[in-house]
Amino acid sequence: VKVEDDPLNCKKMCAKNTKPFTVFVEGNIGSGKTTFLEHFRRFEDITLLTEPVEEWRNLNGWNLLDLMYKDPPKWAMTFQSYVSLTMLDMHRRPTDTPVKLMERSIFSARYCFVEHMMRNGTLHPAQFAVLDEWFRFINHNIPIAADLIVYLKTSPSIVHERIKKRARSEEQCVPLTYIEELHKLHEDWLINRVHAECPAPVLVLDADLDLSQITEEYKKSEHQILRKAV
Ligand code: DGT
């Protein structure tokens, strides 16, 4: 894809952005990303952007997340297209605080979820190629700020239990093998660095701990995140 100018007008959109210190919170399904974000709600001067799962569950009345789990070959492409759009919206959203905390990113969508769907054949190679071209186009032409990644590292068996307990209706049939494969893809991206690209330094936290102990673990990241907020 060759881009001459600034077709998406992102320079103008950027001018409104205050360039906050931007943190992506990453980790397997059920690793506690939302809980981590909630931990920072008590502090001032931080914008929290939780993942748009509710938008994925209701696009003009359609539950894309459910359609994707029920018939992956038919709906994966549609679902991932919409995930990319909603993620890009979060990346581009201007803030008036010095710190912005985001649940996931366009990078985990590509390197974990789309990668998985490509490897297991859920996405046809042609569908994968289109999603990958969109990702490259966005990545090269739209500024996506990233200053730190907090990786909530977990054991697949522990998050699998949590997913069963929280009983989100769409996730009832999620097998342990899927969680193990997603775990490996997060590790490859954030720890083993198999993709050329990791957009920011990675802080790894032990997110296996249960709720009574996890606050102490979350506090380990406060220094790096909050010093930008003062
Ligand atoms: P948490 O707070 O760590 O428990 O986070 P979750 O599990 O609410 O959020 P997440 O992003 O790990 O999973 C959201 C659901 O969407 C989950 O069923 C997996 C599914 N999913 C499929 N493809 C994608 C994708 O590209 N991105 C994300 N974020 N989720 C996807």
Contact 39, 218 (CB under 8 A): yes
Query: What is the predicted pLDDT for the residue at 144?
Result: 92
Given this model, what pLDDT does residue 15 score? 42
103 labelled catalytic: yes
Full-model pTM: 0.88
Asked if pLDDT for residue 10 goes beyond 50, the answer is no
Residue closest to 124 by CA, chosen among 133, 114, 134: 114
What residue's CA is closest to ligand 1, atom 24?
113
Cβ-based neighbours of 61, under 8 Å, separated by 6 or more: none
Q: Of 26, 51, 103, 115, which residue is the catalytic one?
A: 103
Q: What is the pLDDT of residue 199?
A: 84
Residue 228's pLDDT band (cuts 50, 70, 90): low
Mean pLDDT across the stretch 105-126? 97
Asked if 157 and 134 touch (Cβ cutoff 8 Å), the reply is: no
> Is residue 91 within 8 Å of 141, Cβ to Cβ?
no
Q: Identify which of 189, 173, 40 has the alpha carbon closest to the alpha carbon of residue 103.
A: 40
pLDDT of residue 12: 41
> Rounded CA gap, 165 and 155, in Å?
16
Q: What is the mean pLDDT of residues 101-115?
A: 96
pLDDT at position 229 is: 57
pLDDT 10s digits, 161-179: 999 998 888 898 899 999 9
CA of 166 to the centre of ligand 1 (A): 13
How confident is the model over 40-58, as pLDDT tens digits? 999 989 999 998 899 999 9
Q: At 5, is the pLDDT very low, low, confident or very high (cuts 50, 70, 90)? A: very low
Distance 29 CA to ligand 1 centre (A): 5
Query: Mean pLDDT for the chain?
Result: 89
Least confident of 10-19, 113-122, 143-152, 186-195: 10-19
Which of 25, 53, 82 best tests ligand 1's pocket when mutated (most atoms within 8 Å of CB)? Answer: 53
Q: Which amino acid is at 7?
A: P
Q: How far is the CA of 45 from the centre of ligand 1 (A)?
A: 26
Q: To test ligand 1's pocket by mutation, which of 25, 26, 29, 55 has the most ligand atoms within 8 angstroms of CB?
A: 29
User: Can you tell me the distance from the alpha carbon of 107 to that of 187, in angstroms, rounded to the nearest whole number?
Assistant: 13
Give the tens place of pLDDT for each residue, 175-220.
999 999 999 999 999 999 988 777 899 999 999 998 888 988 888 8
Give the residue-averaged pLDDT of 28-33.
96
Distance CA 195, CA 135 (A): 14
Tell me the average pLDDT across 127-142. Answer: 96
Residue 9 has pLDDT above 90, yes or no: no
